Amino acid sequence: MSETTKHTKDTKRRLPPGWRWVRMGEVITEALPGFAIGERDPQGVIQLRMNNVDTRGRLIWNEFIRVPADEETVAKYRLLPGDVMFNNTNSTELVGKSAIFTGHAEQIVYSNHFTRLRTRNEQLDPGFLAAWLLHQWQRKVFENLCNRWIGQSAVKSDKLLALELPLPPLAEQRRIAAVLNERMAAVERARAAAQAQLDDAKTLSAACLRQALPRSGQDLPAGWRWARLGEVCEDQTGTRDPRVEPGKTFRYVDISCVDNLQKRIIEARNLQGNDAPSRARQVIRKNDVLVATTRPNLNAVAKVPPELDDEICSTGFCVLRARAGLFPDYLFAFVRHEAFVSALSDLVKGALYPAVTDGQVKAQSIALPPLAEQQRIAAELNAQMAAVEKLRAGLEAQLNDINALPAALLRQAFNGEL
């Protein structure tokens, strides 16, 4: 069974009164691929490229290229309001994304990665078609329909035009397209607002740390002092784990195990015997603080939970083990401070493997109050961070719900329920 036949069988269903099934080719007057050109011309015509259509069915003009084009080329490939642009070639996940062209201040032509669809105006509304194509892309119809090569996939015009779409009367198409435009715009406004709130929430942790902890060089309150990390953390020299016991399971932490946003170990790999890296490992204890030492992961830090006591981690971390007088949670807060991360970034060396050394990490200065004050500060920060994380998780859930709305609206539209 061909993919086109499978699509037709899967989507063939009872339609609302007055609707009918038609092949796209019956209601399209033109399906014209664009033209390829490698040249650029700062004074040339704007050419629509893959990055100019997003996955929400919108044309994006933040970035574009200009190409040389003579009058004949412009006349043939110029976009007119109402043209529906189908992205015929892209990665497998993105092939088939589409958008309707509503006009631009300048002339626009398009690349061979797109097919320009023009409808029979008396039968098919372009806005209705663009929405239906977006619906098919979300349902992964084009992902299943495309021909695949290494690095890219393509939907051939004959397969595209053989697809069947549910077609209501023209007036109903226009009503559906108008309702979808209005509701999609409202969804986009809600999405942008939720994303802005989420972006703000992600900065709250840094703000809490800035308020609670002094930066290097600042005057300290009475009873505080500056100390090097190496002075207040145990010397881990010689703690590289020599154990290689066949059949024994090790829990191993590397950079992939750390959630960079939540600053915690989200998983540990289970390795056995010689599977555990023989040299790139070191013992960790509960409450140790792990600081990644390679770029771009310098802000990846975590505190070792009790369940990983006496396990091993990669030497891609500097292991900081607090001495008496340094509260581990206070140490953990310090290494999350943007000033600490910035100081390490300034020390990074190496072109192929940019990193800092354990010695450079331990040479950093920490503002050290009395132990009771460390505990108080750490408790307040823990409460604040928990509240921030709860807020962030709630906003992410809200954003996920908003992002699911377009698919629901499209399902309703093409089931005759809008």
- What's the pTM value of the predicted model, to 2 decimals? 0.76
- What's the pLDDT score for residue 241? 58
- Return the structure tokens found at 83: 């043209």
pLDDT recorded at residue 322: 95
User: What dihedral do alpha carbons 340, 207, 255, 265 form, nearest 10°?
Assistant: 120
Residues of the chain with pLDDT under 50: 1, 3-6, 8-10
Tell me: the pLDDT tens digits for 406-417?
999 999 999 999
pLDDT at 151 (0 to 100):
83
**What confidence score (pLDDT) does residue 63 get?**
93
Q: Are 157 and 31 a contacting pair, CB within 8 Å? A: yes
Q: Residue 290 in contact with residue 298, Cβ under 8 Å?
A: no
Beta strand 84-87 with 114-119 is antiparallel
Note the pLDDT of residue 279: 57
Contact call for residues 100 and 106 (beta carbons, < 8 A): no
* pLDDT of 4: 47
User: According to the model, what pLDDT value does residue 235 have?
Assistant: 83
Q: Which of these, 101, 38, 107, lies nearest to 67 by C-alpha position? A: 38
Q: Is 111 exposed, middle or buried (0-12, 13-18, 19+ CB in 10 A)?
A: buried
Please give the pLDDT value at position 248.
Answer: 76
- Sort strands 249-253 and 311-313 into parallel, antiparallel or unpaired: parallel
pLDDT given for residue 251 in this prediction: 86
Q: What is the pLDDT of residue 278?
A: 59
Predicted confidence at residue 377, as pLDDT, reads 95
Domain map of the chain by residue range? Answer: 3-168, 225-368
Angle at alpha carbon of residue 224, lines to 219 and 225, rounded to 5°: 80
- Provide the pLDDT for residue 100: 97
pLDDT of residue 362: 94
- What is the reported pLDDT for 3? 47
CATH number assigned to the domain with residue range 3-168, chosen from the 4 options 1.10.1240.10, 3.30.450.90, 3.90.220.20, 3.90.950.10? 3.90.220.20
Within a 10 A sphere around the Cβ of 39, how many other Cβ atoms? Answer: 10
Fold of 225-368: Adenine-n6-DNA-methyltransferase TaqI; Chain A, domain 2 (3.90.220)
Closest CA to 124 of 89, 159, 168: 168
Q: Quick one: which of 310, 318, 325, 251 has its CA closest to 289?
A: 318
Position 315 scores a pLDDT of: 85
Measured over the CA atoms of residue 400, residue 403, residue 407 and residue 412, the dihedral's sign is positive
User: Do 225-368 and 3-168 fall under one CATH topology?
Assistant: yes
